[in-house]
Amino acid sequence: MISIRFHGRGGQGVVTSSEVLAVAAKIDGKYAQALPAFGPERSMAPVVSFCRIDSKPIIVYQQIYSPDVVVVLDPTLIGVVDFTKGLKPEGNVILNSSHKTSCPIGKVTCIDAEATAMKVIGKPFVNMVMLGALAGITDVVSLKSLKEAIAERFGKDNLNIKAAEECYNSCKV
């Protein structure tokens, strides 16, 4: 099983990211679940969401305390939220940042998702760009299934598909 924790701020699509990823995994023939974790948060407050993907049915239904991968949509969370908490020592952090950074644990990949979103979409919508990075770096879902899941959520002509694909391809190089 691969466990993924998403961090961002309210309104950035953290919950949507985990839901779209779960749909993409199911399209690939895997089992998946997406779990939001939020209470009375307001717009721009820190938010977390989770996704589990496996080749067999998933029987646990709770927060992810030891993720394999952490995806951080908002770099302003550095120093505000301990997004590496519980990360497996061999885990991956995929961080939306134009600046290289390191973490005390795991491997960090910095993706300038905002630049890609602005170029392709014309707005700083980074969540699907970051899913493209996640898929490209980890192969947790195929690009084909990710594009299909994004189309199912936002429509087949949505620019998020192109933005995710662009980031996926740049991460595969």
| CA–CA separation, 156 and 59 (whole Å) | 32
Of residues 164 and 10, more confidence is placed in 164
3-state percent helix, strand, coil for the chain, nearest multiple of 5:
35, 25, 40
- Is 70 exceeded by the pLDDT of residue 54? yes
The whole model's pTM is what?
Answer: 0.94
Report which of 150, 93, 99, 141 is spatially closest to residue 120, judged by C-alpha positions. Answer: 150
Detail the DSSP E strand segments found in 97-162. Answer: 107-111
pLDDT mean across residues, the chain: 93
Of residues 139 and 37, more confidence is placed in 139
Measured from the Cβ of residue 144, the count of other Cβ atoms closer than 10 Å reads 11
Element (H, E) at 106: none
Q: Which residues contact 54 (CB under 8 A, 6 or more apart)?
A: 1, 2, 30, 31, 32
Class (C level, CATH) for 2-112+140-155: alpha beta
pLDDT tens for residues 20-39? 999 999 999 999 999 988 66
- Average pLDDT over every residue of 54-82: 94
| CA–CA separation, 113 and 82 (whole Å) | 21
Would you place residue 101 in the very low, low, confident or very high pLDDT band (cuts 50, 70, 90)? Answer: confident
- Average pLDDT over every residue of 158-169: 97
Look at residue 113 in the predicted model and tell me its pLDDT. 97
- Is 90 exceeded by the pLDDT of residue 44? no
- Is 70 exceeded by the pLDDT of residue 40? no
